[in-house]
Amino acid sequence: MNVDRILIVGHRGAEALAPENTWAAFRAGYEAGADLLELDVQLSRDGEAVVYHDFTLFRLGDPRWVRDLTWEELSRLDVGRRFGPHFAGERIPRLAEVLRWARGRVALWVDLKHGFQDPDDDRLEMTALDLIAKADMAEQVIISSWDQVALARIHARRPDIPLAVNLRQRVADPVGAVRHTNARWIVVYWPHVDRPTVARLQGAGFATCLVNLFTGDYREARRLGVDAVSASDPGAARTTLYG
């Protein structure tokens, strides 16, 4: 599945421009011209789908786990001040709110943060699917996860929603490693990927998204021939790729 040009995915919105996974980051990524905005989703203690990457609040100086806090508790946290004083007061969004904002505006890459729950626990993916349906956003999302069992459950319920799975390391048979995932997109990691691997995946019908380019060397995406690049600064990626 090839695209006409390299798509630009705003990583956690636009994490180089604003605090990751916040409204400021999503607005910055959208205004910078990202084709999709990537965001991380997990559940609060009371079952709210919240947009936050880490399983703990350690980066905020708080040792607690996200899953142990209610939405009310999480909603009071300031997740912007550590990025810069002018971002003080930025809060953790809920997936439902971001979906409503994005509808008709920009596509979303929803990365489900499956952690240490029971393998049979499907609450995270089912909650996300319900919210996507309520927001009428099925045609504007890609859902990703490292958990292939969870991806199979999503595909069984909504085979129309494109899925993405991670391929973190070099493997002898990259197509075999992802053949049974039901994924359309494969996330490949720089520098653990080469042009032959990308070509084999594309030849088998998969699209590839390159991540881990935190140096901003987006030209590497063109050399590898990937279909999309995850960019911490979507504007810089666009300038580098297209002038």
pLDDT tens for each residue of 37-79: 999 999 999 999 999 999 999 999 999 999 999 999 999 999 9
For residue 114, indicate whether it is catalytic.
Answer: no
Asked if pLDDT for residue 202 goes beyond 90, the answer is yes
State the pLDDT at residue 215. 62
* 7-242: in CATH 3.20.20.190: yes
For residue 53, indicate whether it is catalytic.
Answer: yes
Options 53, 114, 180, 192, the catalytic residue: 53
What is the rounded average pLDDT of the residues 202-210? 96
pLDDT tens for each residue of 153-200: 999 999 999 999 998 778 889 999 898 889 999 999 988 899 999 999
Buried b (16+ CB within 10 A) or exposed e, 110-149: bbbbbeeeeeeebebbebbbebbeebebeebbbbbbebbe
The residues, any chain, with a CB within 8 Å of residue 232's CB and separated by 6 or more, are 11, 12, 14, 15, 16, 214, 216
pLDDT tens for each residue of 8-48: 999 999 999 999 999 999 999 999 999 999 999 999 999 99
**pTM of the predicted model, to two decimals?**
0.95
- Spatial CA neighbour of 141 closest among 152, 153, 129: 129
State the pLDDT at residue 209. 97
Options 11, 86, 114, 180, the catalytic residue: 11
